Structure 1
Amino acid sequence: MARYDFQVEKVLVYKDYKRLFTSAFLHANWLHLIFNMIALFYFGMQLGAILGTLGFLLTFILGILGGVLLALYIQRYNSGYSAIGPSAGINAVMLACIALVPGMRISLFFIPIPGWIIGLAYMLISIYGIRSRREGISHEAHLGGGITGIIIAVLLQPSALQNNLWVILLMLIPSLSFIFLIVRYPHFLILGTLKPRTNHTVEDRANIERKITEAQVDEILEKINKKGISSLTKKEKEALEKYSRP
């Protein structure tokens, strides 16, 4: 699995670009596989009925690429970041369905909920997941895949933009605004502010450095837990050694 999963270091440093796609065919366990296949079948059948098989495949494949590229950009300085699974492509298919048929009913715990509510909630949850820097789920890929799916749906069926404009904007505006913020203000994810203070006290600087260092160490320890200490780069080993000093 380690030869084909998505790893920032392998893609950016070693130019192993096949991982952008091969990672989508890997799953953590049988439950992960079954859940993804059920979701893909459910939304894939509906999208295929609207856009045809070619439209479905295009949405799925480009959704994977869009999700992985957004994850690669956001995590570009996190060499230990890795991910597997086709969630970006599945999200693209799901959000494309919702953009085309916002009134579709999706059962959540046996309760039918309008698709546009699910779509908006999913995008907001993905944004929150990225902002909180939570591990275990590639929220970046989810968001990128969802955005890609909506855009492709509109390109393949332009009438959706006229018929469902408010739903499409409701899902895209928060997502694209968030991406603009993290591109325009890279410190936003760490500091939570658009304009970092320039008159930090010594204590402020220490707290910021501690926050950044702790996040880096957590990522390194997670990498050791998954792949062993031999997988660390020289820079990561030096950072871990420096942090371990009393």
Structure 2
Amino acid sequence: MYNLDLVTGIIIAANVAMSLKGFDNRTFFERYKFNVGQIRRGDQIRMFSSGFLHVDITHLLFNMLTLYFFAHTVILQLGTLNFIIIYAASLVFGNLLALYFHKDEYWYSAVGASGAVTGILYAAILLYPEMKLYMFFVPIPIPGYVFGVGYLLYSIYGMKNRLGNIGHDAHFGGAVGGYVITLILLPSLFKTDSGHVALLAVPILILFVLYKTGKLH
């Protein structure tokens, strides 16, 4: 049985309300989506508002279900305020990374809470690295830290190969946001669980090396 905390319910309601309006009102959708050209012209609200819009019901449902399953873990350990900080920071950091990698693609657009949700997921894994996760296509439980590392390595692969119509940059940036903010809020993890802290940092170091050596794109 999972708990639906008040703050999680409010965030889910905000995502549902804005996404449904975006489905019905294309002008609204275009006004608040992430778009490199508009952001570089000074429309900074899109860095945040785009995180509450979704492409369709499936996109919305997947993100909100993921948030529902992992939000309480973070709230239980760090509290409501810190949960909000991680969510908001991960959303913005995900979009900042997407903006950085696509800064010269003025047409590039994206929507979705994936960056924020991935940040919460990665924070939960950092707090409880041995948690067991079940995937539709894998019949056995996967330790959280294995999933976290694998997910970010897949995101790097997706970024490098422009795989699918997916914002891999935002996913990766959101995870990094969740990782960094969680460690800032709970630095004792460096002492109590340094092995998992180091392991979960490996994909971040790989991305940095690939970028510095010009092998990312």
Q: TM-score, normalized by length of structure 2? A: 0.82
> Higher relative contact order by CA 8 Å / sep ≥ 6: 1 or 2?
2
- The structure with the largest alpha-carbon Rg is 1
State the partner residue of 1:243.
none
The correspondence for 1:11, drawn from 39, 50, 71, is: 39
Q: Which residue of 2 aligns with 1:65?
A: 92
SS at match of 2:190: helix
Poorly superposed stretches of 4+, deviation over 3 Å: none
* 2:75–2:82 contact (8 Å) kept in structure 1: yes
Map 1:192-207 onto structure 2 (within 5 A).
none
Q: 2:32 aligns to what SS in structure 1?
A: coil
Decide whether the 8 Å contact of 2:210 with 2:216 is kept in 1: no
Distance 1:70 1:176 in 2: 15
Match of 1:121 in 2: 150
2: distance between equivalents of 1:177 and 1:162? 23
Name structure 1 gaps, 5 residues minimum: 191-246
TM-superposition CA deviations, 1:116-159 (whole Å, max 9, x none): 01100111001111111224100000111101101111111112
| CA deviation map 1:10-36 (0-9, x unaligned) | 111x21000000000001111111111
State the identity as a percent. 37
CA distance in 2, matches of 1:37, 1:177: 29
Matches within 5 A, 1:41-120: 41-109=68-136, 111-120=140-149
When the two structures are aligned, how many residues end up with a matched partner?
187
Letter in 2 for 1:129: G
Task: Please report the RMSD computed on the Cα atoms of aligned residues, expressed in angstroms.
Answer: 1.4
1:146 to 2:175 alignment: yes
Counterpart Cα distance in 1 of 2:91 and 2:129? 22
State the TM-score, normalizing by the size of structure 1.
0.73
